[in-house]
Structure 1
């Protein structure tokens, strides 16, 4: 995965430990402090960031990894175009940049959990946004 080197991978494995102790990716997200906490009473409530629970070292590793995923190179190209597009979409939806980073961290947790659970490598997905936007323009002209 772009942005993960030997040191970051060792930190992730060291903080997570045995992946078999987590039933699913949501449990790992809760352990990392990325899952929101629900505070409610009488059917009313809101979700808040989990600041007091979780492994703070794992959280900080994921935070810096999320920054690396949306990072633009010197040429102005995103390191990971999929996460950069996701980040820009979340910001355009009205989320703050920190909230968008937390969304990326949550996606990273799911990917890392799946990779560790199934012992697979990361394949960078391809974006087909341009083709989709070209089809929208063609439909508008008709």
Structure 2
């Protein structure tokens, strides 16, 4: 079995089920698995409209003109959320324990369709970053 077939089998076992798409991605990526995965997952950073694939490459383009983008409303303000609790006036820089409550609150705010990130110094993101930085400096990690 040559390297291309091994790569086809590898990508197929990773969950990419269309053999033709796999072969096209491997051809465009010159048989590079990482590049092929990026192509198959539509990584727009590498393979956007100004791709380095070049005009000689046969890349199938999908018609997206029928897809309408509907603007959504801005996320709700922090204080209007039902679980929002008033924050302490100053962040606690001395506590080295990781603020799990703040992490859970941050997850509830970020992993939704209309997310908002509490970014002020006394809110969850800053508390989690400060604690993570402190733990990393001390070497206390799981």
Question: Structures share a fold, TM > 0.5?
Answer: no
Higher strand share goes to which structure?
A: 1
TM-score category of the 2 structures, normalised to the smaller one:
under 0.3
Higher helix share goes to which structure?
A: 1
By relative contact order (CA 8 Å, sep 6+), the higher-ranking structure is: 1
Larger of the two Rg values belongs to structure: 2
